[in-house]
Amino acid sequence: MNLSHKADYALRAVCNLSKLPKGKRSSIRLISQEASIPREFLAKVLKDLAASGILVSAKGVQGGFCLKRPAHKISYLDVIEAMNGPLHLSLCTESGECSCYSVDDHCYMHQFWVAQEKVFRNALSKRHFGIKR
């Protein structure tokens, strides 16, 4: 029960980029080193973050990666869903309708997971980058 490694690394990468001075860019080498992310894995994560419009990359001597919008406008949920698609805590809620129980046409767990997802999604969507706490 945890974040996928991909989402975990994506959060670290965005957190790292959120500390860059305005107008600066960073490199895969530097992000990997500073945020403790395996370099091969990081390349894939950065590619997906760029595809999702969370960061931009530029080639050339002055190239590198930076966030596309201000860090305080990027939520943890934005980053997690950019990596893994819509957030779901259990199979029970993932499919839209619950198929757990044929035995009595009632799933004892569904409402619990719906409620937990709501709480968790709310916390992740309210938490943004760029603020030291």
Q: Which residues bind a copy of itself (CB under 8 A)?
A: 1-5, 7-8, 11-12, 15-16, 18-19, 33-36, 76, 80, 84, 87-92, 94, 99-104, 106, 108-109, 111-112, 116, 119-120, 123, 127, 129, 131-133
- Least distance to a copy of itself from the beta carbon of 60, Å? 24
- Least distance to a copy of itself from the beta carbon of 59, Å? 24
Q: What is the DSSP string of 39-69?
A: HHHHHHHHHHHHHTTSEEEE-STT-EEEESS
Taking the C-alpha atoms of residue 82 and residue 53, their distance in angstroms, rounded to an integer, is 9
State the greatest distance between any 2 C-alpha atoms of the chain, in Å, as a whole number.
Answer: 65
Residue closer to a copy of itself by CB (options 22, 133) is 133
